Amino acid sequence: MCVICIASLGYGANVDVPFKPTPASQSKLSPWSPMEETDPAPDPGETTQAVFTLNYSRIQIPFEITLWVLLASFAKIGFHVYHRITVWVPESCLLISIGLIVGGIMHSLHEKPPAVLTSNAFFLYMLPAIVLDSGYFMPTRPFFENFGTVLWFAVVGTLWNSIGIGISLFAVCQIEAFGVQDITLQENLLFASIISAVEPVAVLTVFEDISVHEQLYIVVFGECLFNDAVTVVLYNLFNHVAVMEVVEAGEVFLDIGRFFVVGLGGTLFGVLLGFVAAFTTRFTGKVREIEPLIIFLYSYLAYLIAELLAISSIMAIVICALTMKYYVEENVSQHSCTTIRHVIKMVGSVSETLIFFFLGVVTITTEHEWNWGYVLFTLLFALLWRGLGILVLTQIINPFRTIPFNFKDQFGLAYGTIVVIIFTVFIQGITIRPLLKLMNVRKTNRNLETINVEIHKRLMEHTVAGIEDLCGQWSHYYWKDKFLKFNNRIIRKILIRDNCPESSIVALYKKLELQNAMEILDQMSADISAAPSLISLHEERKNASKSRKKFLSSDVTNMHELLSKNMYKIRQRTVSYTNKHTLPNDMTAREILMRCHTSLRRSLRAGSFHGTNAAKMSQKFFSLPMGRSLSSGFPPGRLRHAGDGDTESETDYLSIRHPQRVSSKAVMPPRPSNTLKEVASSVNMVDEQNEEQRGYRRSNVSRSGHLTSHLPHGSSRNYSDEDCEGEEQQSRSSPHVWVQEPQNNSDVQHPLMRRPHWLPQKPHDK
């Protein structure tokens, strides 16, 4: 799109497409890169071997590319050092301006821009990277819910825009003052059709920088997607028309039919390849290393084949990524999952940076015949028509939408257009933030994900589906329900290894539990004096029976604290997942666990299972202060039974998936572990025995303990005081080694436990 618009810019100024591959050989780099020697021999005329040679021409192209990317990255780093700039000016603007500066330098030295930015390079390498990035991280559910709107805006909107702009520009051209009378109507229409394409990259960047309401984001993004298809068709249509003398109705219809082919073909291809990719990952259990590769290859393949068949490649790659993501993320290992996300983000980021950068450079260095009048009018009309178009279209479609766009949203939609890239990126980019603030465009509702909300969402969905069945009406839930059933029954069985039915509620719950655990870990390392004695725990249990079905407020307070801290963490997560420039950050929690885990492993290895050590840690872990019963501690593998291999718990641990988004996670299949299972089941037994005696607040925790039978078994015992008590009880009767240890509250100093958070502490009463 970028290139097309630049091309159109040139077109509007009666210049040819500026992207001819410039002769790259022997072209010198711009002055800031000092390596220009191509002559290796220091002594002309000598034929002896030189000691020190420079062979530039061989490495020239990769070298240049690397330097450019590096420069762009430095620029990017620089921006983020100065936070204040990025608040006002979106990053894309800054990149372009730097590009302009560099371009200016190069131009003044009469250098040519590097060969890398050919149209080919752009379309084949950079664009798919960016589109894959956007597509992979796009929230699927809102996308499909808004599908109708998106389609509507894309198709009809583009048509409206191009025709409107074309005609008005033509009218303008007739005015003699601008001296461009030679541009015919058809050429104008052609130009307009290009212009009215909305440029996804810049728009999304700007939108994300200011975190606009998700709905808006989705609609604009989807519109960009479909625009691709529409524009291609329109362009061809107008091309034919421009060439032909007489317009024939048949041709027009053919082209309209072509649109459907293009669009649907892209979608079909994407879906097909997505399924094939998912299917492939089903079998990669033993070859984890190539899993990310498979994802990339299939996506890129989708893109290339679509290009081959001249159907909408952008759609193909996005749909492929969407389809694939859901199934693949369940099949691949955690490492691979992270790798995939990282790499996609990285490559997308690099591409995007490069593109903006080069835009700046190329603008200056290529020759343009600026016709200010024409360009300005283009800008004006584009804005005008787009604004009108949005208004009108929105009016028409609002009754069909359940959450109608209000005027402010419409403004956001209209304004977000990138017409002539450089101008709009700059002007609109800079002004959009204050303007939107002024108008209070709806911001994303980054609310806490609570279990209640999730539960009730599911509840409502089921209710509505049920009522629909009852009254015999079909509606969107009907289809969704049907699709989900089909999905669960058939597709998942085929595409996913170790299929287990999932529930988003459970996934969310687990996510929150894990975060609870993180919280406790954090708190524990900070607040060492929090351990009560065994005696107090014992007393507590006796007293527990008096509060059966009520919550103790101390629990509530603690839960409240935990929740409020979790809220912060959860909120961080949802923010980061849609932020274009960062990865979804679920690494912090895992890092804490990893650190603890490795320390434990080392300690165990060093002491070759010294029971006390494990116990000490386990005791430390269990010994939560009174009233903290709800907090779930979660060091995986920490309380491993004697003799368990390190490796097993490690793999268990590493395969915990932190659900990034609730709807896409499955319950982890229980990993078989003989000894651990034993203990876990004994815990269950004990709990059930003691159920009646336990107070209500305990039972909460025990249940969560059992929840983790799906999680690494090592963790299930960490979950509650109650379990601890269960263990203690059992310890008197059973030979489970590690359980007995809590009674030996000895002060053996293990070398590793001299670390601050592992210091054995004097138990306190609370």
**Applying CB under 8 A, does 470 fall inside the site for another protein?**
yes
Q: Which residues from 504-543 bind another protein, rule CB under 8 A?
A: 505-506, 509, 512-513
Which of 141, 437, 560, 754 lies at the binding interface for another protein (CB under 8 A)? 560
**Applying CB under 8 A, does 762 fall inside the site for another protein?**
no
Q: Which residues from 84-113 bind another protein, rule CB under 8 A?
A: none
Handedness of CA 415, 419, 421, 424 (dihedral sign): negative
Nearer to another protein among residue 265 and residue 705 (C-beta): 705
**Applying CB under 8 A, does 460 fall inside the site for another protein?**
yes
**Applying CB under 8 A, does 427 fall inside the site for another protein?**
no
Map 606-673 to HEC letters: HHCCCHHHHHHHHHHHHCCCCCCCCCCCCCCCCCCCCCCCHHHHHHHHHCCCCCCCHHHCCCCCCCCC
**Judged by CB under 8 A, which stretch of 471-479, 523-531, 569-577, 582-590 contacts another protein?**
471-479
**Applying CB under 8 A, does 459 fall inside the site for another protein?**
yes
**Applying CB under 8 A, does 397 fall inside the site for another protein?**
no
**Applying CB under 8 A, does 140 fall inside the site for another protein?**
no
Separation between Cα atoms, residue 166 and residue 172, nearest integer Å: 10
Separation between Cα atoms, residue 225 and residue 199, nearest integer Å: 9
Could you tell me which residues are beta bridge partners of residue 532?
Answer: 764
How many CB atoms within 10 Å of residue 676? 24
Which of 210, 272, 491, 667 lies at the binding interface for another protein (CB under 8 A)? 667
Q: Which residues from 617-646 bind another protein, rule CB under 8 A?
A: 630
Is residue 537 within 8 A of residue 725, CB to CB? The reply is: yes
**Judged by CB under 8 A, which stretch of 309-317, 457-465, 520-528, 638-646 contacts another protein?**
457-465
**Applying CB under 8 A, does 663 fall inside the site for another protein?**
no
Query: Which residues contact residue 496 at a Cβ distance below 8 angstroms, ignoring those fewer than 6 apart?
Result: 278, 282, 327, 330, 331, 666
Q: Which residues from 689-708 bind another protein, rule CB under 8 A?
A: 696, 699-700, 702-707
Q: Which residues from 155-174 bind another protein, rule CB under 8 A?
A: none
- Rounded to 5 degrees, what are φ and ψ at 764? -110, 155
Nearer to another protein among residue 186 and residue 702 (C-beta): 702
Which of 473, 529, 588, 681 lies at the binding interface for another protein (CB under 8 A)? 473
**Applying CB under 8 A, does 41 fall inside the site for another protein?**
no
Which of 557, 582, 598, 743 lies at the binding interface for another protein (CB under 8 A)? 557
- Show the binding pattern over residues 479-508: x = contacts another protein (CB under 8 A), - = does not: ------x--------------xxxx-xx--
**Applying CB under 8 A, does 476 fall inside the site for another protein?**
yes
**Applying CB under 8 A, does 284 fall inside the site for another protein?**
no
Nearer to another protein among residue 251 and residue 502 (C-beta): 502
Q: Which residues from 705-724 bind another protein, rule CB under 8 A?
A: 705-707, 710
Is residue 295 within 8 A of residue 340, CB to CB? The reply is: yes
How many CB atoms within 10 Å of residue 145? 18
Token pair belonging to 413: 């939609």
Q: How far is the CB of 456 from another protein (least distance, A)?
A: 6
Nearer to another protein among residue 625 and residue 705 (C-beta): 705
**Judged by CB under 8 A, which stretch of 203-211, 301-309, 465-473, 652-660 contacts another protein?**
465-473
Separation between Cα atoms, residue 145 and residue 168, nearest integer Å: 35
Which of 22, 525, 545, 554 lies at the binding interface for another protein (CB under 8 A)? 554
- Of 183, 597, 146, 109, nearest to 377 by C-alpha is 183
Is residue 620 within 8 A of residue 761, CB to CB? The reply is: yes
Q: How far is the CB of 536 from another protein (least distance, A)?
A: 16
Token pair belonging to 436: 């939107």
Separation between Cα atoms, residue 565 and residue 694, nearest integer Å: 28
**Applying CB under 8 A, does 148 fall inside the site for another protein?**
no
Nearer to another protein among residue 595 and residue 706 (C-beta): 706
Exposure b/e, 235-251, CB count within 10 A at least 16 = b: bbbbbbbeeeeeeeeee
